[in-house]
């Protein structure tokens, strides 16, 4: 991560703009089923990020007389509305007054059979190492989540196994492969987030929103200006894994009982907590109203196949993207040939176009083959 941060500091506005275009193209190509819909989601997220004062000349834009919008759309309201309340509305619309409870699996009487022995753990050391490497590499690429890493690690473990027919029937190597890759993605997601300020998935988008709320701007300068925060994040990540293990072992029965509660009670309670949180963060009912507007928007986007994750990531990067674009246009001054003196930018832009074309055509071929 520090090496990437040093490289990022040497990048000019044109390279930064090209890098963000490349990141958007990768995310749009790998998230969802339609590249064009993901590009539209990213474009709409960038448009919503223009609400407020212009970053260069402080000209008000799209505020419609509301002084609350001078600083832009409230980040907390947008994030909770799109990610939390929209999902609550989606789930509540399917309840229809029916009380559903969790499926309770039969409990084994032999408690020792539930635990992984040291011999079993040592036998899986190669599988765990392979899965960790796969999860780290894929986690550092924006747009790839833990699911992709888990599937690839599982396929790799199955291919390397002497008994591939036992995968899917309880082979411990399959479990070790998926879980090691899944756990490694979380730490690797911090690489593009901290060094470039680009969130790669939903979890990273939530982390960057929390940092922005507290006035911390992720990016290459973060390593120079707030180095102690970086080590604090690494320490928190290690502690989170320990606490995750403890909470899983101690509170598993309690968490299982919570999900037995009727959804008609859980979701209204969660909605109330979201409203209270937004009101405390913004200090007015205007933020709550904005939250519900984006909740409806997120609900409709999900219903019509547009990615909410791409929208949120584009919204977070909107101000930096606009500033880099404006500075790049000023440097070019109408002369596109200046790009020839920026080979890194050309490579990134070409890679962005290639990724959109490759993944777009690949999905079309997949759909055509399924229809045939």
Task: Provide, rounded to the nearest whole percent, the portion of the chain with pLDDT above 70.
Answer: 81
The average pLDDT across 50-70 equals: 86
Determine which of 37-41, 190-194, 223-227 has the lowest per-residue pLDDT on average.
223-227
Residue 117 pLDDT greater than 60, yes or no: yes
Nearest to 163 by CA among 221, 134, 123: 123
Question: What's the pLDDT at 204?
Answer: 74
SS3 state at 53: strand
Residue 133 lies in a domain: yes
Query: Higher confidence at residue 96 or residue 129?
Result: 129
Q: Is residue 153 located within the same domain as residue 30?
A: no
Query: Does the pLDDT of residue 71 top 70, yes or no?
Result: yes
Same domain, 291 and 213: yes
Q: What's the pLDDT at 106?
A: 43
pLDDT of 295 reads 95
Q: Is residue 253 part of a domain?
A: yes
Given this model, what pLDDT does residue 200 score?
65
Closest C-alpha among 339, 361, 362 to residue 18: 339
**Claim to verify: residue 215 and residue 74 sit in the same structural domain:** yes
Name the residue among 92, 67, 44 with its Cα closest to residue 311: 44
Q: Are 109 and 98 in contact (CB under 8 A)?
A: no
Q: What total number of domains does the chain contain?
A: 3
Radius of gyration of the chain measured on its C-alpha atoms? 23
Residue 77 included in any domain:
yes
- Write the CA distances from 333 to 48, 58, 326, integer angstroms: 27, 22, 10
**Range with lowest mean pLDDT among 70-74, 118-122, 143-147, 239-243:** 143-147
Over range 322-351, report the average pLDDT: 85
Residue-number span of the structural domain to which 278 is assigned:
1-100+202-225+262-372
Model confidence pTM above 0.85: no
Give yes or no for residue 370 having a pLDDT over 50.
no
Asked if pLDDT for residue 315 goes beyond 50, the answer is: yes
Query: Residue 272 — pLDDT band, cuts 50, 70, 90?
Result: very high
Mean predicted lDDT score pLDDT of the chain:
78
Within-domain flag for 298: yes
Share above pLDDT 90 across residues of the chain, in percent, rounded to a whole number:
11
Both 172 and 255 in one domain: the answer is: no
Residue 281 has pLDDT above 80, yes or no: yes
With bands split at pLDDT 50, 70 and 90, how would you rate the model's confidence at 103?
Answer: very low
Of the pLDDT bands very low, low, confident and very high (cuts 50, 70, 90), residue 212 is: confident
Give the pLDDT score at 97: 46
Is the predicted pLDDT of residue 360 greater than 90, yes or no?
no
151 lies in the same domain as 6: no
Tell whether 209 and 96 lie within a shared domain. Answer: yes
8 Å CB contact between 17 and 325: yes
Q: CA 222, 341, 26 angle in degrees (round to 5)? A: 55
How far apart, in whole angstroms, are the C-alpha atoms of residue 207 and residue 199?
8
pLDDT band per the 50, 70, 90 thresholds, residue 102: very low
Determine which of 30-34, 67-71, 106-110 has the lowest per-residue pLDDT on average: 106-110
Pure H helices in 57-145 = 75-80, 86-92, 118-123, 125-139
DSSP element (H, E) containing 321 = helix 308-332
Beta strands in 21-89 (DSSP E): 52-53, 60-61
96 and 206, same domain (yes or no): yes
Same domain, 139 and 89: no
Per-residue pLDDT for 85 more than 80? Answer: yes
Beta pairing partners, 362: none
Establish if 193 belongs to a structural domain.
no
Q: Which residue has the higher pLDDT, 105 or 232?
A: 232
Judge if 220 and 253 occupy the same domain: no
62: left (phi over 0), alpha (psi -120 to 50) or beta: left
Q: Residue 275: helix, strand or coil by DSSP?
A: helix
Q: What is the pLDDT of residues 138-176, one digit of tens each?
A: 777 665 556 667 766 777 787 778 887 777 666 788 888
Question: Is the pLDDT confidence value at 297 over 90?
Answer: yes
Check: CB of residue 130 under 8 Å from CB of residue 136: no
Is 164 a member of any domain?
A: yes
240 lies in the same domain as 161: no
- Note the pLDDT of residue 134: 81
């Amino acid at each position: 991560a520090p090496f990437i941060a040093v490289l990022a500091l040497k990048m000019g506005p044109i390279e930064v703009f090209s890098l963000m275009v490349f990141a958007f193209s990768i995310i749009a190509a790998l998230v969802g089923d339609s590249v064009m819909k993901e590009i539209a989601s990213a474009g709409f997220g960038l448009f919503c990020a223009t609400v407020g004062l212009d970053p260069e000349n402080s000209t008000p834009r799209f505020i419609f007389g509301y002084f609350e919008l001078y600083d832009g759309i409230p980040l907390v309201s947008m994030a909770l509305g799109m990610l939390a309340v929209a999902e609550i509305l989606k789930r509540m619309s399917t309840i229809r007054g029916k009380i559903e409870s969790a499926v309770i699996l039969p409990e084994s009487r032999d408690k020792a059979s539930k635990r992984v022995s040291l011999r079993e753990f040592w036998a899986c050391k190669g599988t765990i190492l392979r899965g960790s490497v796969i999860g780290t590499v894929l986690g550092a690429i924006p747009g790839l989540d833990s699911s992709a890493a888990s599937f690839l690690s599982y396929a790799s473990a199955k291919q390397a196994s002497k008994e591939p027919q036992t995968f899917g029937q309880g082979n411990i190597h399959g479990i070790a492969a998926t879980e090691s890759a899944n756990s490694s993605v979380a730490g690797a997601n911090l690489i593009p987030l901290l060094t470039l300020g680009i969130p790669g998935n939903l979890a990273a988008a939530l982390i960057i929103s929390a940092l922005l709320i507290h006035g911390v701007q992720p990016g290459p300068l973060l390593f120079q200006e707030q180095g102690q925060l970086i080590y604090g994040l690494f320490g928190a990540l290690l502690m989170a894994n320990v606490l995750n293990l403890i909470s899983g072992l101690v509170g598993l029965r309690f968490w299982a009982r919570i999900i037995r509660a009727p959804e008609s009670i859980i979701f209204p309670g969660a909605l109330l907590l979201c409203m209270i949180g937004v009101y405390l963060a913004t200090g007015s009912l205007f933020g709550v109203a904005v939250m519900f507007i984006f909740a409806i928007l997120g609900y409709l986007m999900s219903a019509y196949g547009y990615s909410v994750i791409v929208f949120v990531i584009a919204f977070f990067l909107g101000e930096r993207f606009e500033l880099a674009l404006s500075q790049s246009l000023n440097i070019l001054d109408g002369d596109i040939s200046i790009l020839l003196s920026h080979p890194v930018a050309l490579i990134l832009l070409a890679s962005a176009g290639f990724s959109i074309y490759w993944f777009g055509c690949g999905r079309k071929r997949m759909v055509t083959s399924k229809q045939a």
